[in-house]
Amino acid sequence: MTSIADETSVKPGDLLGGKYRVERVLGAGGMGIVVAARHIELDTRFALKLMRTSAVRDADSVERFVREARAAVQLKGEHCVHVVDVGKLDDGAPYIVMELLVGRDLAALVAHEGARSATEAVDYILQACEGIAEAHALGIVHRDVKPQNLFVTKGVDGRPLVKVLDFGLAKTLAASKEMRALTQTTAVMGSPQYMSPEQMRASREVDARTDLWSLGVCLYELLVGKPPFDGMTVPELCSMVLKEPPSPMPSDIPRGLIKIVMRCLEKDPARRYATVAEFADALDAFATTSGAAERIHAVLEKPHDPFDSAGPARFDPNAETRTESSFDTTMKREGRRPKVWLAVALGVVVGSAVAIGIVGKVSGGNARPAAAAPGKVGVAIARSGAPVATPMVSSLPLVPPSSSTVASASSPIPIDAPPTRRAPRALPARRMTGPSLTAHPAPTASAPVLTPKTTEF
């Protein structure tokens, strides 16, 4: 398969990349052609973007084409077109495989049906803002936002769904010097009617606010039916964008909405909205549904995982070094873990041995009382039934004590003897760990008598 010279060079039935069967041509642009094709193994339809022969000869054009795929593949939200595959034809010309969308772009919508209502226009632009916000969160500036690149299809619920297309001119704010060299300072890239003044002056010296200008132009066109600047020639158009104010908007458009559009079209980027989230906040009052502004804020404020393959680390020349260093540190830390586990295992063994010894002592406790363990605390029963602290034996007898006396390892305390100190408040019956006490009615007294209860190990 050779490179595609124009839309007449590719025909239905052609097999691209050995797996995509062409069904029809969907459209053509200055650098490429888009066709609908079916994957012969998956039996699923996709949209393939192919490069023209003239563009393939230009190394910069090829690099921009590949960069479009790299940028778009990172975008996973529903308001951006999804890239699912890339490949090369027999002669090495690249192609991009995207989801196939059914619908039409906003330019075709306005051309066929005219200006839209304020609420409809705002709903479309807010959806586009969600897609642009995802790109901005990854450090990607689209630089070619226009109605032709805002495609209206249907979501799973049947409602209109706007998707942002064509990241061929997208740039990353963390781009390397080699990638920046692709766009010379004097190069003008984009569609002049939708380009910001700073993009006309120097395409590579722009930030996310250039997309806000373009979104404002799109909103203006949806409301009015034509763009705010419309010269007869490209130089005239550029002069209008750089120096002249936009054409006035009709008075039937809400005044607050006009102010929002005019702020987007400020010549000085510092006078525009600072972020797409701020722009969405202003538009939210004119939307038919709520939640778009909150979602946009969440996208922009979400912390990025540097180990996520779909992130700006792809464009950061130092990311590989930092990642390798991080893995080295992790491996060193994990190298110390066996020592920790060894200590834990030894502790378990020692603990088990101690437990076995205790069980043995408990089993032999019926034969004779064991010697008192110094420092331990036992329990004796006073006449009132309140517990009195005494030294506790290391093993408890398995038989209940007699009603007349309570055995103590060091000095048994007769029940008739007065307590040597003030007895503490009687404890309610409750579940205790280790050897515990259970209350039951005494055979000769009304007060309950507390007797030891064994605990199984």
Looking at the annotation, which residues are catalytic?
Answer: 144
C-alpha pair distances (Å), 349 with each of 340, 342, 425? 14, 11, 40
Residue 52 dihedral angles phi and psi, to the nearest 5°: -75, 160
Tell me the three state secondary structure of residue 185: coil
Q: How many CB atoms lie within 10 A of CB 422?
A: 7
Output the CA angle 157-159-160, nearest 5 degrees. 140
Report phi then psi at 41, rounded to 5.
-90, -40
DSSP string, 254-309: -HHHHHHHHHHT-SSGGGS-SSHHHHHHHHGGG-SS--HHHHHHHHHHSPP-TT-S
What's the half-sphere exposure (Cβ side, CA atoms, 13 Å) at 291? 1
The token duo for 21 is: 């069967």
In angstroms, the CA 79 to CA 71 distance is 14
- Rounded CA-CA distance 49/10 in Å is 12
**7, 173, 177, 231, 368 from 198: Cα distances, Å:** 34, 15, 20, 18, 97
Q: What separation in angstroms does the CA of 166 have from each of 52, 159, 342?
A: 16, 23, 57
